[in-house]
Structure 1
Amino acid sequence: MSEAASRNTLLVAARVRHGWHTQQEFADAYERHALALGEQAAISVRQVRRWESGRSEWPNRDARRVLESMFGLPLERLGFIRPGASGAGTVVGRVPVPARKGMDVPPAFGADEARRQGGHAVVGRARALLENAARVDARCGPGGALPEALGLVKAIEATARDVRADARRELLALGSRAAEFTAWLHHDGGAPPSTVLYWHDRAIEWADLSGDGAMHGYVLLRKAQATERTDPARMRDLAHAAVHGPWSLPLRARAEALQQEARAMALLGAAPEDVTRLLDQAYEALDAAPPVRTVVATCTGPLCGAYDRDRLTAQSAICHREAGRPERAVGLLREPVTTGVFGPRDRAFFTAHLAGALAAAGEPDEAAMTGLSVLRLAAGPRFGQALRELRRTVGLLRPYGRRPAVRELRLSLGSLSA
């Protein structure tokens, strides 16, 4: 077979689609993504050439994690051939055509067992695995949880073909939760926006197929949050659609979506009274919600089931910061950051915003000390959102670079990046 015939066109097309038009650009992007996941960082252009020529062997464990995270796709859909997979499907021009069954599904998701049990037992196992992946994420960060989440989504996709209609609906509803969680892991890990969008769209598709309208609205909220500060008009439109779409969001999710719309309005330079009006509506929705049943957010429980006043207050402070009122943000953030019941990731994220608000308010030493406390929370598990916000704070502190605390923060964050 000629080199042209065996070329891995799937990987080449996926690379170009993500904006990496040369092999060197792809190698550089791989290194950045590997660092975010805590994996072996560097590959050479020669390695990229081998992968794209079709002559390379199945990538090693670390490379598999990075590649699947970068593209949001299993390696088979990037043109790689799994060792021993010759009997599972036919290969045509380097494009694997998988067999109907046997898609690397964990034993708990075997198609034969799913048919025997009607799928409901598999749904229970999948729910437990999704919650476990969330616990891994909270403890170890996105790099630790992403392989498990990707495997779970792939298992749900394969198993849903072989169960009865009622169990299929339930399994796809859970798959929507798993796909949204996978999108979040990619976002926190610093994946390209197109990869995050892929998984959000998969979550919406499965929510629609399972008839879960509220989940569709919730994913729009999560899309709005994933835009961060880069596109406030899109953030506003997505958050507004989450609230006003043809579904009924739970009140706690409605409160968070209204807050997100307020943040977008602040970024767009809206009048303070318009931002305050949306925040007031968020508080009204939260006050009307049933009591919180848990202080820990779960991937399979009620949407935004742990969303409480401390979280809304902290997010409202971020809105005031975006509106150019850092002193107001500092005043609102101090109490929830100190006393709120947050997990390590959320505490790191809100504390990073407190550091930024302090820097903008002209308190560089306190800002730097607060930033160092963020590093203690976020450095080990590589909580990406918190670390990105901390880098923004370091940028604000550049005029105060000679101060000892500011210098320590800059060097510590630089050492982590390296």
Structure 2
Amino acid sequence: MPEHAVANWGFVAARVERGWHTQEDFATAYDETARKLREQARISVRQVRRWESGESTWPNRDARRVLEAMFGCPLEDLGFRRPARPTGRRPDGSGEKLEECDVRRRTFLGLVGAAPVLDLTALDHLTAAANHAGRHNRDELLAHLRTALDDAARADGLAGPHEALPTALGILAAINSAARTAAEDLRRELLVLGARGAELAAWLHRDAGAPAPAVAYWHHQAKEWATLTGDGAMHAYVLLRQAQATDRTDAARMLDLARAATTGPWTLPPRPRAEAFQQQARALALTGAGADQVARVLDQAHAALGQAAPPSGPATCTGPLGDGYTRERLMVQTAICYHEAGHSDQAVSLFGEHLAAAAFAPRDRAYFTAQYSGALVAVGEPDEAATAAMEALTLAAGARFGQALTELHRTADHLAPYAERPAVREFRQRLGELAVA
């Protein structure tokens, strides 16, 4: 990237917001639009990368026409910079000053319905500092990047992936840019941080409903950076997160990934090790393993958690791995395992005891409550299930917590035989209205 280049956050955010989660997705959509407009020019992924990096600041005439058709707004609102004119005004005669265009560009995310943790001005400043890492205090730069990632992860827990994703991608672009020219010791620290951010990006894409290749791309990037920095624990942690991202219909792969996290040439800290054992137990339940085998692996999870030191502070994205994995979280996930193993009565009991007592972020509470509703259906309590499902839906709807909504759709299917009961009917109707919206 040229020294003067600044990543184009407006374009990245616009692409993601409209469902083109990868640069390949966007290039395909661009070519399709160009064909409809009878434009001859096509683009490659390399060109998309140049637009997003800021290397190409103003597309050519044909590309401008296609981009404006795709996004329905002027290119300035997408973060592109029109070549400067001596008059300081737009060449279309509107009289609007270029500085005013820049102000509109910097409010872009608000216009498309996202409210980023960092606005475009802050991201531009962060990238400028990253691109000139040698001129800035090393510790100060790393601290800013850590804080930004932690804030993005916190925003996800409170308000969902669509809130945090544009910022997370922007921070990763800044890290990648800085790492290219940084001194060796700073480069390593940047890539360590980048692995955390890439794992977060994988989760955000997954919860936002992105295609599986987009999620896999960020998992791969996180493992690559973890490998380059010799961070074996982070590599294992990403394997765990891959297991959690695996569809329930592929339980064998889920089990392989979760086992690899605990048996490979690395050592996970006690908390994420406990989580990996719990994920193994769930995968075993999904493969049809007996309750005794599931319980033995859950015992390993509890034993690993018992070895963990008390957290030194609130859990963060860039802090100790898995520091947010508490006993209460293990207990509600134990309930999920029992439900998957066909012992839904035990699951309901555990959910009832621990879900009410623990403090979870809205995203997690929505997901666990959705799981609880499924267990209630299984024990023949459709009205209570619908009540729990409505509680989860209220939490998940506005923020679009994807995993919680997926579970709620499963609950709605299981509630179909009770569709005429008032509570069930209301829940299924509201879920259907949300899907249409």
> TM-score when scaled to structure 2?
0.74
CA distance change for structure 1 residues 209 and 31 in 2, over 3 Å: closer, same or farther?
closer
CA distance change for structure 1 residues 52 and 325 in 2, over 3 Å: closer, same or farther?
farther
Deviation at 1:324, TM superposition (A): 1.1
In structure 2, the residue matched to 1:190 is 209
In structure 1, the residue matched to 2:66 is none
2:237 aligns to what SS in structure 1? helix
In structure 2, the residue matched to 1:133 is 152
In structure 1, the residue matched to 2:6 is none
- In the alignment, the residues of structure 2 paired with residue 259 and residue 330 of structure 1 have an alpha-carbon distance, to the nearest angstrom, of 18
From 285, 288, 292, the equivalent of 1:273 is 292
Deviation at 1:200, TM superposition (A): 0.3
Deviation at 1:376, TM superposition (A): 1.2
Deviation string for 1:220-247 (max 9, x for gaps)?
A: 0000000141210000000000011111
| Percent identity of equivalent pairs | 51
Amino acid aligned to 1:358: L
**Conserved 8 A contact 2:160-2:399:** yes
- In the alignment, the residues of structure 2 paired with residue 312 and residue 200 of structure 1 have an alpha-carbon distance, to the nearest angstrom, of 24
In structure 2, the residue matched to 1:39 is none
- In the alignment, the residues of structure 1 paired with residue 179 and residue 51 of structure 2 have an alpha-carbon distance, to the nearest angstrom, of 24
**Conserved 8 A contact 2:158-2:361:** no
Deviation at 1:117, TM superposition (A): 3.0
Deviation at 1:107, TM superposition (A): 2.7
**Conserved 8 A contact 2:202-2:215:** yes
In structure 1, the residue matched to 2:304 is 285
List aligned pairs for 1:160-171, cutoff 5 A: 160-171=179-190
- In the alignment, the residues of structure 2 paired with residue 51 and residue 333 of structure 1 have an alpha-carbon distance, to the nearest angstrom, of 55
**Conserved 8 A contact 2:298-2:334:** yes
Deviation at 1:31, TM superposition (A): 11
Amino acid aligned to 2:49: R
Amino acid aligned to 2:260: A
CA distance change for structure 1 residues 315 and 210 in 2, over 3 Å: closer, same or farther?
same
**Conserved 8 A contact 2:278-2:301:** yes
- In the alignment, the residues of structure 1 paired with residue 322 and residue 38 of structure 2 have an alpha-carbon distance, to the nearest angstrom, of 43
- In the alignment, the residues of structure 2 paired with residue 353 and residue 159 of structure 1 have an alpha-carbon distance, to the nearest angstrom, of 42
* Higher-Rg member (1/2): 2
CA distance change for structure 1 residues 336 and 78 in 2, over 3 Å: closer, same or farther?
farther
From 128, 152, 158, the equivalent of 2:177 is 158
1:324 aligns to what SS in structure 2? coil
1:417 aligns to what SS in structure 2? helix
From 226, 231, 247, the equivalent of 2:266 is 247
- In the alignment, the residues of structure 2 paired with residue 231 and residue 162 of structure 1 have an alpha-carbon distance, to the nearest angstrom, of 41
1:380 aligns to what SS in structure 2? helix
From 372, 393, 402, the equivalent of 1:375 is 393
In structure 1, the residue matched to 2:256 is 237
Amino acid aligned to 2:199: E
In structure 1, the residue matched to 2:143 is 124
In structure 2, the residue matched to 1:343 is 361
Structure 1: unaligned runs, 5 residues or longer:
1-29, 35-42, 58-72, 92-103
CA distance change for structure 1 residues 112 and 184 in 2, over 3 Å: closer, same or farther?
closer
Deviation at 1:47, TM superposition (A): 3.6
Amino acid aligned to 1:283: H
CA distance change for structure 1 residues 112 and 241 in 2, over 3 Å: closer, same or farther?
closer
Deviation at 1:417, TM superposition (A): 1.1
Deviation string for 1:177-219 (max 9, x for gaps)?
A: 0000000000101111111010000000011111111000000
Amino acid aligned to 1:193: A
**Conserved 8 A contact 2:131-2:178:** no
Are residues 1:85 and 2:104 paired?
Answer: no
In structure 1, the residue matched to 2:229 is 210
**Conserved 8 A contact 2:157-2:364:** no
Deviation string for 1:137-170 (max 9, x for gaps)?
A: 1232111111111111111111101211111101
Deviation at 1:118, TM superposition (A): 6.2
- In the alignment, the residues of structure 2 paired with residue 307 and residue 333 of structure 1 have an alpha-carbon distance, to the nearest angstrom, of 17
Deviation string for 1:37-78 (max 9, x for gaps)?
A: xxxxxx999747459956599xxxxxxxxxxxxxxx998239
Deviation at 1:131, TM superposition (A): 1.0
- In the alignment, the residues of structure 1 paired with residue 265 and residue 143 of structure 2 have an alpha-carbon distance, to the nearest angstrom, of 29
In structure 2, the residue matched to 1:147 is 166
**Conserved 8 A contact 1:251-1:285:** yes
From 76, 79, 89, the equivalent of 2:48 is 76
CA distance change for structure 1 residues 83 and 209 in 2, over 3 Å: closer, same or farther?
closer
1:231 aligns to what SS in structure 2? helix
Are residues 1:315 and 2:351 paired?
Answer: no
CA distance change for structure 1 residues 157 and 31 in 2, over 3 Å: closer, same or farther?
closer
**CA RMSD of the aligned region, Å?**
3.0
- In the alignment, the residues of structure 2 paired with residue 31 and residue 206 of structure 1 have an alpha-carbon distance, to the nearest angstrom, of 26
Deviation string for 1:300-354 (max 9, x for gaps)?
A: 0111102111100100111111111111110111122111121111111110000
2:309 aligns to what SS in structure 1? coil
List aligned pairs for 1:292-331, cutoff 5 A: 292-294=311-313, 296-331=314-349
CA distance change for structure 1 residues 411 and 241 in 2, over 3 Å: closer, same or farther?
same
- In the alignment, the residues of structure 1 paired with residue 426 and residue 401 of structure 2 have an alpha-carbon distance, to the nearest angstrom, of 20
Amino acid aligned to 2:266: W
Amino acid aligned to 2:367: F
Deviation at 1:375, TM superposition (A): 1.1
Amino acid aligned to 2:48: E
